Structure 1
Amino acid sequence: MIRVVIVDDDVRVARTHRDLVDSLPGFTVAAVAHTAAAALAAVEAQRPDLVLLDLYLPDESGISVLRSLRAPARAGTIPPVDVLVITAVRDVDQVRAALHGGAVHYLLKPFPLAALRDQLERYAAAHRSLDRIGEATQGDVDRLFGLLRPAPARSLPKGLTQATADLVAETLRAAGTDLSAAEVAVRSGVARVTARRYLEHLCAEGRAELKMRYGSTGRPEHRYHWVR
């Protein structure tokens, strides 16, 4: 499980983010903090993998929290932790400070919850990739960093629509297990041949993986699994 500490001075926002994190397979909320002091205490006590960090805090700035987490004096007491900055702060110096502090991403409020969910799923995919890699090649590194940075929007292949692409992607993501094209078709309400076209597109984008299930006779069954 990826353990997450949520840091936000707004109780309602923190609750919304907590509900989202708890809804994602493979994630669990270790603690919620509303101040800088509480955030540092939670990280030290809970040893999370990831901190969702707001920069507007009542006692100190989120950048101060980030710097404290990276301070050499804390290296012996707090294991390395990744930080995803979630904030309305648009000041370039703050963005630069977050970058220098090693934040994995900087997500500007307001944003649709789907944007946070996508970023968390990308983080989980990168986390899994690191677990599978022994000695990294340049290709491994490129894929890893690519997972953490959303790709520029690309046009869909001819004949595909964004609405149906989103529907098929959400159907596969929500399943939490591998599905066949026929199963996706039933759950999403589209034709089987349509489901397969969109599933192949998701595989080409790296958002899904194709697995072959071999039976005792006949052709192997194509199964699709959401990966980020």
Structure 2
Amino acid sequence: MIRVLVVDDDFMVAKVHSGYVARVEGFEVVGVAHTGADALAAVRTLRPDLVLLDIYLPDADGITVLRALRADPTTVDTDVIVISAARDVDTVRNAMRGGVLHYLIKPFSAAALRDQLLHFAALQAKLARLSAREVSNQEDVDEVFAARPRGSVVLPKGLSQQTADLVEQALRAHPDGLSATECAQTTNLSRPSARRYLEHFAEIGKSEVRLRYGAGRPERQYHWIG
């Protein structure tokens, strides 16, 4: 079993996220923390394999907690996925520099978290297989360091994986679909930028387009199908 610590200042949100984790086979929640201090203490005591770390905590922000985990020899090996409503570039950049595996923007669906947990499990299995021998080729290294499992679609020039993940999470969180305008509002992107990613997902079969009819022209509505 992969042991998970959920860190969130909101008791109900922590409960919801714990429920998401519990539904994924091979994972168990070993603890919940609501402050930075409690999170650090829990990691040292419980030794989880993975921490789902919020940024907005009452006593210290999640980046400070992340840095403390990385500075402590007893916790440096603990993996971290950030789960937060924080969308500013500095926070995302600092999380990446702190070695987080992924950054999920709230609100996200159970499916979005499940995908990341399964990717984490696959990554751990790959590392376990490699630990018994030397890395045989560049492909082994690429698979370990990739943000996504092998088989991911290469994005067209001008599109970034980080923004694609953001748009994907927005679609997953809205099963009734989003228009380009709604997606832009949800992700804080410009409408043209949001539409480019939405159209890309439609072109590669990750989403489908349905027409929403109203008073004016029909509006394109995008639904995630994965």
- Cα distance in 1 between the residues matched to 2:4 and 2:43: 9
Matched, 1:17 2:17: yes
How much does 1:28 deviate?
Answer: 1.0
Among 200, 204, 209, which residue is 1:155 paired with?
A: 204
Matches within 5 A, 1:119-198: 119-133=116-130, 134-136=133-135, 137-146=137-146, 148=148, 151-152=152-153, 153=201, 155-156=204-205
- Cα distance in 1 between the residues matched to 2:205 and 2:88: 34
Contact 1:122 1:147 in 2 (8 A): no
Between Structure 1 and Structure 2, how many residues are aligned?
Answer: 158
Matched, 1:107 2:104: yes
- Cα distance in 1 between the residues matched to 2:118 and 2:109: 15
Query: In structure 1, what is the equivalent of residue 209 of structure 2?
Result: none
Gaps of 5+ in 1: 158-162, 167-228
Gaps of 5+ in 2: 154-200, 207-222
- Cα distance in 2 between the residues matched to 1:148 and 1:155: 16
- Cα distance in 2 between the residues matched to 1:89 and 1:78: 24
Q: Once superposed, what is the RMSD of the aligned Cα atoms? A: 2.3
Q: Deviations over 1:7-29 (max 9, x none)?
A: 00111111111111112111111
**What secondary structure is seen at the aligned counterpart in 2 of 1:94?**
helix
- Cα distance in 2 between the residues matched to 1:102 and 1:127: 16
Q: Deviations over 1:168-213 (max 9, x none)?
A: xxxxxxxxxxxxxxxxxxxxxxxxxxxxxxxxxxxxxxxxxxxxxx
- Cα distance in 1 between the residues matched to 2:93 and 2:27: 28
How much does 1:36 deviate?
Answer: 0.3
How much does 1:156 deviate?
Answer: 4.2
**What secondary structure is seen at the aligned counterpart in 2 of 1:37?**
helix
- Cα distance in 1 between the residues matched to 2:107 and 2:149: 19
**What secondary structure is seen at the aligned counterpart in 2 of 1:119?**
helix
Matched, 1:80 2:105: no
- Cα distance in 2 between the residues matched to 1:3 and 1:21: 10
**What secondary structure is seen at the aligned counterpart in 2 of 1:141?**
helix
Matches within 5 A, 1:18-97: 18-71=18-71, 74-75=72-73, 77-78=74-75, 80-97=77-94
Contact 1:36 1:57 in 2 (8 A): yes
Contact 2:143 2:149 in 1 (8 A): no
How much does 1:79 deviate?
Answer: 5.2
Q: Which amino acid aligns with 2:4?
A: V
Contact 2:70 2:76 in 1 (8 A): no
How much does 1:78 deviate?
Answer: 2.8
- Cα distance in 1 between the residues matched to 2:149 and 2:61: 25
Contact 2:69 2:76 in 1 (8 A): no
Q: Which amino acid aligns with 1:26?
A: G
Q: Identity percentage over the alignment?
A: 53
Q: Which amino acid aligns with 1:119?
A: Q
- Cα distance in 2 between the residues matched to 1:148 and 1:6: 22
- Cα distance in 2 between the residues matched to 1:156 and 1:108: 23
- Cα distance in 2 between the residues matched to 1:57 and 1:85: 12
Give the 4+ runs in structure 1 shifted more than 6 A.
Answer: none
How much does 1:147 deviate?
Answer: 5.8
How much does 1:105 deviate?
Answer: 0.7
